[in-house]
A = this chain, B = another copy of it.
Amino acid sequence: MNSMTPPQLLQSLHWRYATKAFDATKKIPRDVWQALEQALVLTPTSYGLQPYQFLRVEDPALRAALLPHSWSQRQVVDADQLVVFTARTEMTEADVDKLIRRIAEVRQVPAAALETYRGMMLSDIVHGPRGKKALEWATRQAYIALGNLMTCAAVLGVDTCALEGLNPLEYDRILKLEGTGYVTVVACAVGYRAADDKHAGLAKVRYEMTDLIRSV
């Protein structure tokens, strides 16, 4: 099962760049956007716990309110879509039980058969040492989703720009995240590059492969 050849993949990855200027008039076709939403949902996570929510910010007023808290990066208002990645602030027994119920439902197995798996999660990410760092652990899972989204968009010919340069507390306030158990960690603009974005033509800067990958 392979959908691309290695040269096709590399062509897409070279085509991708952190888009600075989006064409505000160009919309992502419905089937393409739905595939990207599905891709977000299908992101792999630790234990399958999916400790995040993705906010699709459609309201132009909200986008405008976010702009000054995004280092004024125009992608926030110009890109067809803006996805804000939020992460779960803590992991509780209820979070684990919610996943157990979902596994039981999807795979048609009794929840009791998942007791060992439940215990593993509880002793690690809830009550174990990682439980104290649950937000950071959840944030890392959100970053897997971010990497997944940018790559999926690239192979579908859709532009993205990850936005770490934002004020998470202001995002939380504007997006009314207080009390939800989720906080903003990063965002990603998704759409199409403007024809005159001169960043599109710049050579991609990466360290030599031998600096980044070591064989041992």
Q: How far is the CA of A44 from the CA of B149 in the complex (A)?
A: 12
- Give the A interface residue count (CB, 8 A): 80
Task: Report how many copies the assembly holds.
Answer: 2
B107 & A156 in contact (Cβ 8 Å cutoff): no
Query: Which of A38-85 touch B at CB < 8 Å?
Result: 38-44, 46, 48, 50, 52-59, 62
B55 & A216 in contact (Cβ 8 Å cutoff): yes
Shortest distance between the CB of A162 and any CB in chain B (Å): 6
Contacts of A150 in B (CB 8 A): 44, 144, 148
Q: How far is the CA of A206 from the CA of B145 in the complex (A)?
A: 13
- The answer to the question of A24 belonging to the interface, with a C-beta cut-off of 8 Å to chain B, is no
Q: How far is the CA of A1 from the CA of B40 in the complex (A)?
A: 21
Q: How far is the CA of A205 from the CA of B49 in the complex (A)?
A: 10
Query: Which of A129-168 touch B at CB < 8 Å?
Result: 136, 139-141, 143-148, 150-152, 155-158, 162, 164
Q: How far is the CA of A8 from the CA of B35 in the complex (A)?
A: 10
- The answer to the question of A203 belonging to the interface, with a C-beta cut-off of 8 Å to chain B, is yes
